[in-house]
Amino acid sequence: MTRWPAAVLDDPSGVLLGLDFDGTLSPIVDDPTQAYVHPRSVAALDRLGPRLGLVAIVTGRPVDQVLELGGFQQHTGLSGLVVCGQYGVERWDAATGEVVRPERSAAVAQLVEELPAWLDEHGAQHVRIEDKGLAVALHTRGIDPDLLQRLDAPLRDWAHRLGLALEPGRQVMELRSPGSDKGDAMRHLVERTGARTVVYAGDDLGDLPAFDAVDAFRAEGLAGLLACSVSPEQDALVPRSDVVLQGPDDVADWLTELADALEA
């Protein structure tokens, strides 16, 4: 029995499939540089690429990291893949191989310069700093599960003074320039493709704007499907989801089910 609705199975060329990266296509690991995409998900997407209207990865990660950890360029079935990185402010199209990205803002540059001293002042010198170029992520996985809660208020105050947005996640907080989120990225992709069915799968709070966008498309008459890759750390997407998946292994099964159904 498939977990895919008739709107997807009967009209695959009208489908926009949007997928989060971490926790959805790849496992959550202590070292984010080792979060490689599930191989069965890549294999399924390789089969789905020629059959769906568009496959897009919509993520908070920089495009370059996504390409390195996904190996998508090696798959001919993904010649039309689009990667919307850093919440949509970066973009890579497989068709051209070009990356479009803005310059780092002065506020993010100031944050990077001052962050080590700030963390030391707040007793958080062991936090792992990930400089994404256009944003900075603070990782506490494997360090102290309560640390992010203690840092939340002072980080929000500092972000406000710098004019930056603060994005909470699973044992991570990210500070970035405001102005784009995953919902904006999905709206742009729908405008670009004229999709008749919009599917999105994610796992964390940063995916909520994409969920909101899909719900808005449904209110406008498009077909839509929302899926969450659930974990013990975060279940906020579960009440909003049409399909609940048990982590990246189940996401890989779900994508494979669709590829099998469309090839039958």
Domain range summary for the chain, segments of one domain joined by +: 6-102+180-263, 106-176
Would residue 20 show up in a list of annotated catalytic residues for this protein? yes
Query: If you average pLDDT over residues 37-62, what whole number do you get?
Result: 97
The confidence score (pLDDT) of residue 238 equals 96
- What is the pLDDT of the chain when averaged over all its residues? 93
The confidence score (pLDDT) of residue 12 equals 98
The band of 30, judged by pLDDT with boundaries at 50, 70 and 90, is confident
> Whose structure tokens read 């001052």?
114
The band of 112, judged by pLDDT with boundaries at 50, 70 and 90, is very high
Angle made by CA atoms 141, 175, 235, in degrees to the nearest 5: 50
Which of 11, 20, 22, 146 is labelled catalytic? 20
What are φ and ψ of residue 18, in 5° steps? Answer: -105, 135
What is the per-residue pLDDT across 224-256, written as a single tens digit (0 to 9) for each? 999 999 988 888 899 999 999 999 999 999 999
The alpha carbon of 31 is separated from its chain's Cα centroid by a whole number of angstroms, namely 17
CATH label, 6-102+180-263, candidates 3.40.50.2020, 3.40.50.2000, 3.30.1330.10, 3.40.50.1000: 3.40.50.1000
Work out the burial of residue 58: count CB atoms within 10 Å of its CB; fewer than 13 is exposed, 13-18 middle, 19 or more buried: buried
Query: If you average pLDDT over residues 204-222, what whole number do you get?
Result: 96
Query: If you average pLDDT over residues 129-157, what whole number do you get?
Result: 85
The confidence score (pLDDT) of residue 1 equals 53
Query: If you average pLDDT over residues 197-202, what whole number do you get?
Result: 98
pTM over 0.95: no
CATH class of segment(s) 106-176 = alpha beta
